[in-house]
Every structure is written in structure tokens, then in C-alpha cells.
């Protein structure tokens, strides 16, 4: 299984990734790599997806920091 990981040079020293749908366990309308615990996707599939992302990032799933994605011009700043 291969994940499509996109990184941004501007985020340089920080371990980060933007992931496409490839390599995910979700199906139906969430087909692919849905990592949203707040979605109505099957929780088991989301946990598998998060474990795959964590492995690709070299961290444990509990160390992932994720946000609720919105399609807007607003940016979120992580401070802690």
C-alpha cells in the first residue's frame, strides 16, 4: 500500500503531510484515506486510515495532529 504524501517546502523543519485518497480503507462516499474522526465514516476504517498515515509519518497515531478541514481562505495556526 502506497500513500500519496504532499509536503510543502515552506513548512520545512516540521514533519507534515497532505494526503490524497490513495491507500485508504474507507468506502462509499468516504472512499479512500478519510482520517476525520468527526465524520460519519465507519470509525474502524478511520482508525485504520489514521494508523496508515501515522506509519507513513513515522509517529504513533495518538501523536497525529489534525484539523477539521474547511474549504475557505482561512488558515489555522497550531500553537501547542
Nearest to 66 by CA among 42, 44, 33: 33
User: Can you tell me the distance from the alpha carbon of 47 to that of 37, in angstroms, rounded to the nearest whole number?
Assistant: 8
Sequence-separated (6 or more) residues with CB below 8 Å from residue 78: 65
Find the angle CA(18)-CA(19)-CA(23) to the nearest 5 degrees: 165
Q: Work out whether the CA dihedral 29, 68, 61, 53 comes out positive or negative.
A: positive
The reported pTM is 0.84
pLDDT digits (tens, 9 = 90+) for 13-57: 888 899 999 999 999 999 999 999 989 999 999 999 999 999 999
Please list the residues that pair with 18 across neighbouring strands: 6
Amino acid at each position: 500500500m502506497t500513500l500519496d504524501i504532499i509536503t510543502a517546502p515552506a513548512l520545512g523543519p516540521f514533519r507534515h503531510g497532505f494526503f490524497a485518497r490513495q491507500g485508504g480503507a474507507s468506502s462509499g462516499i468516504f472512499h479512500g484515506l478519510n482520517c476525520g474522526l468527526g465524520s460519519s465514516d465507519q470509525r474502524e476504517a478511520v482508525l485504520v486510515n489514521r494508523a496508515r498515515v501515522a506509519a507513513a509519518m513515522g509517529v504513533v497515531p495518538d501523536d497525529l495532529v489534525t484539523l477539521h478541514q474547511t474549504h475557505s481562505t482561512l488558515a489555522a495556526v497550531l500553537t501547542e
